[in-house]
Amino acid sequence: MAWEGAFGVAGKDVDNCVLSGAFVVYEIDNSKLDPQFVGYYFRNRSVWERIGSQSTGTNVRRKSLHPEQFEAESIPLPPLPEQRRIVARIESLAAKVDQIKQLRQAIRTDAQAMLRSAFQQAIEGAEYRPMAEVAPIVRRPVKIEPEGEYPELGVRSFGKGVFHKPMFLGAELDWQKLYRVHAGDLVISNIKAWEGAIAVANKDEHNRVGSHRYITCFPEKGITTAGFLCFYLLTDEGIEQVRAASPGSADRNRTLAMKRLEKIKVPIPNYDKQLRFNHLQAQVAAIHKAQLDNQIELDALLPAILDRAFKGEL
Please report the pLDDT score of residue 126 as a whole number.
Answer: 97
Q: Of 155, 157, 177, whose CA–CA distance to 165 is shortest? A: 155
CA atoms within a 13 Å half-sphere pointing along the CA-CB vector of 177? 8
Residue 138 and residue 250 in one domain: yes
Whether residues 259 and 281 share a domain: the answer is: no
Cβ–Cβ under 8 Å, residues 224 and 274 = yes
pLDDT recorded at residue 192: 95
Q: β-strand 209-211 against 265-268: which pairing, if any? A: unpaired
On whether both 244 and 142 belong to a single domain, the answer is yes
Distance CA 226, CA 247 (A): 24
Asked whether residue 157 falls in the same domain as residue 253, the answer is yes
The parts of the chain modelled with pLDDT lower than 70 are 58-61, 250-252
At residue 53, the pLDDT reads 83
Quote the DSSP letter at residue 117: H
Q: Quick one: pLDDT at residue 173?
A: 81
Both 110 and 91 in one domain: the answer is: yes
Q: Which of 92, 125, 133, 75 is nearest to 314 (CA)?
A: 92
Contacts of 179 (CB under 8 A, 6+ apart): 139, 140, 141, 142, 209, 210, 211, 212, 214, 216
Q: Are residues 203 and 309 in the same domain?
A: no
Rounded Cα distance, 3 and 47, in Å: 11
> What is the predicted pLDDT for the residue at 118?
97
How far apart are alpha carbons 119 and 228 in whole angstroms?
9
93 and 43, same structural domain? no
**Crossing angle of helices 295-309 and 80-123, rounded to 10°:** 170
Query: Residue 2 has what DSSP assignment?
Result: G
Q: Are residues 161 and 243 in the same domain?
A: yes
Other C-beta atoms closer than 10 Å to the C-beta of 241 total: 19
- Considering the domain architecture, whether residues 151 and 181 belong to the same structural domain is answered as yes
For residue 148, what is the domain's CATH number? 3.90.220.20
> Are residues 66 and 133 both part of a single domain?
no
Residues 115 and 160 in one domain: no
- pLDDT at position 58, please? 67
Q: Would you say 3 and 53 are in contact if contact means Cβ atoms under 8 Å apart?
A: yes
Domain that includes residue 71, residue range = 2-77
The answer to whether residues 186 and 227 belong to one domain is yes
- Name residues whose C-beta falls within 8 Å of residue 75's C-beta, 6 or more positions apart in sequence: 38, 41
Report the number of distinct structural domains present in the chain: 3
Give the model's pLDDT for residue 61.
Answer: 66
Residue 56: the pLDDT is 82
